[in-house]
């Protein structure tokens, strides 16, 4: 088995290009700093892409789908079969991510990395590692080699999208039970109390919420994942789609492609990618703040500030896709706005403000 991701070399972001972009942004026809975080995003994009005039179009939405054996413990409001049913919905164009991908002109790929059933479709990319993870209350979710294989599947699939011309990667997921796996992963890595990380996921009732917390606590005590070893954590309490997204992020960062990260599950994958190679985090931008409580802890661990906060918790890459127009606006600002000189506008500073005066 080849593990291309282990040999990946992630370049440092180019801070000089970022400074050049900042200087250029100050010359645009607007008061300095008046576009707020949009200006910061443009500088970040320039640093990531090593281009003073960065572009993020077209984006690529890459959805990894997998099942979780832990669902048999009653931690989800939906049965396991819904994973496959939703993947068929993706393939038929009926899901939220289909709508939002179309809205932003994204290339959309769906990957079977571990669905617990066979789905026959010419448009579904098959990278199946196994038919869902095992119930990690009873045993490890998967063996270490399978976790590594899933990371590699994500790495290779993302590279293929990049080779086909995408300029921004939006990883997403589908997997009933994956908020349980993500909560377990984050608890193992952070040492945080499970009670502060676990949310309602797909909308479970209070009784099931307590079951979910108890299951995670028991599983962590039994599996004893090494919080300093991301692959060990994945193999013991993680998910195949989480591993796949982590691999995809490693691929994008190795190619200097900006990564727009979705909510709790995608951010958990981002945390795994950062643990594997810390430089990968320099290419990540958080699309939104999830309503899942565990996302707050992951945001702190990633050291990022999300673009949007809409109370979303759908997954699928949907929140990141909705945030993409903001990222594109930052790119268009630096690429298309006129400078004071080009527009023949004088910039005069009065009482600490930049005022625009037409010649």
Which CATH number covers residue 63?
A: 3.40.50.10210
Query: In terms of domains, do 129 and 219 share one?
Result: yes
Query: In terms of domains, do 217 and 158 share one?
Result: yes
Residuewise pLDDT in 10s, the chain (359 residues) = 678 888 889 999 999 999 999 999 999 999 999 999 999 999 999 999 999 999 999 999 999 999 999 999 999 989 999 999 999 999 999 999 999 999 999 999 999 999 999 999 999 999 999 999 999 999 999 999 999 999 999 999 999 999 999 999 999 999 999 999 999 999 999 999 999 999 877 677 888 889 999 999 999 999 999 999 999 999 999 999 999 999 999 999 999 999 999 999 999 999 999 999 999 999 999 999 999 999 999 999 999 999 999 999 999 999 999 999 999 999 999 999 999 988 888 765 544 444 454 43
Query: In terms of domains, do 110 and 213 share one?
Result: yes
In a domain, 26, yes or no: yes
Q: How far apart are CA 133 and CA 130, in angstroms?
A: 7
In a domain, 1, yes or no: no
Torsions phi, psi of 165, nearest 5?
105, 5
In a domain, 78, yes or no: yes
Query: In terms of domains, do 166 and 200 share one?
Result: yes
In a domain, 131, yes or no: yes
Query: In terms of domains, do 136 and 271 share one?
Result: yes
Query: In terms of domains, do 176 and 198 share one?
Result: yes
Q: Which positions are annotated as active-site residues? A: 316
In a domain, 3, yes or no: no
Q: Count the domains in the chain.
A: 2
Q: Which domain holds residue 313?
A: 59-327
Query: In terms of domains, do 249 and 348 share one?
Result: no
Say if CB 177 and CB 80 are below 8 A apart. yes
Query: In terms of domains, do 150 and 24 share one?
Result: no
Q: How far apart are CA 50 and CA 272, in angstroms?
A: 25
Residue 58: is the preceding peptide bond cis (ω within 30°)? yes
CATH of the domain at 48: 1.10.1610.10
In a domain, 286, yes or no: yes
Note the pLDDT tens digit of each residue in 178-215: 999 999 999 999 999 999 999 877 677 888 889 999 99
In a domain, 5, yes or no: no
Query: In terms of domains, do 211 and 100 share one?
Result: yes
Query: In terms of domains, do 17 and 93 share one?
Result: no
Q: How far apart are CA 272 and CA 276, in angstroms?
A: 6
In a domain, 294, yes or no: yes
Query: In terms of domains, do 244 and 350 share one?
Result: no
Torsions phi, psi of 13, nearest 5?
-65, 155
Query: pTM for the whole thing?
Result: 0.95
Query: In terms of domains, do 261 and 313 share one?
Result: yes
């Amino acid at each position: 088995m080849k593990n291309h991701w282990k040999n990946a070399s992630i370049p440092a972001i180019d801070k000089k290009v970022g400074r050049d972009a900042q200087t250029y942004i100050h010359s645009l026809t607007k008061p300095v700093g008046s576009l707020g975080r949009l200006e910061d995003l443009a500088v970040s994009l320039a640093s990531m892409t090593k281009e003073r005039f960065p572009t993020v179009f077209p984006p690529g939405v890459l959805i990894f789908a997998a099942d979780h054996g832990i669902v048999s413990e009653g931690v989800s409001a939906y049965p396991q079969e819904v994973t496959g049913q939703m993947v068929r919905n993706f393939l038929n164009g009926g899901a939220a991510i289909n709508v939002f991908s179309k809205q932003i002109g994204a290339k959309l790929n769906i990957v079977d990395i571990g669905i617990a059933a066979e789905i026959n479709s010419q448009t579904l990319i098959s990278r199946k590692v196994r038919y869902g993870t095992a119930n990690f209350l009873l045993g490890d979710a998967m063996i270490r080699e399978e976790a590594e294989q899933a990371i590699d599947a994500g790495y290779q699939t993302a590279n293929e999208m990049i080779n086909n011309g995408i300029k921004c990667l939006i990883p997403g997921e589908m997997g009933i039970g994956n908020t349980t796996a993500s909560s377990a992963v984050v608890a193992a890595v952070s040492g945080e109390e499970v009670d502060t990380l676990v949310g309602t996921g797909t909308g479970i009732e209070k009784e099931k919420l307590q079951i979910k917390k108890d299951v995670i606590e028991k599983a962590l005590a039994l599996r004893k994942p090494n919080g300093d070893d991301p692959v060990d954590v994945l193999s013991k309490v993680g998910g195949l789609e989480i591993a796949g997204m982590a691999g995809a992020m490693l691929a994008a960062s190795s190619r200097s492609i900006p990564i727009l990260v979705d909510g709790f599950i995608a951010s958990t994958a981002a945390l795994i990618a950062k643990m594997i190679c810390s430089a990968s985090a320099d290419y990540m931008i958080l699309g939104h703040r999830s309503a899942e409580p565990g996302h707050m802890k992951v945001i702190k661990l990633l050291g990022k500030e999300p673009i949007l906060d809409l109370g979303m918790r759908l997954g699928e890459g949907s929140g990141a896709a909705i945030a993409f127009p903001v990222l594109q606006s930052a790119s268009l600002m630096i690429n298309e706005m006129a400078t004071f000189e080009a527009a023949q506008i004088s910039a005069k500073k009065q009482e600490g403000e930049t005022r625009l005066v037409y010649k």
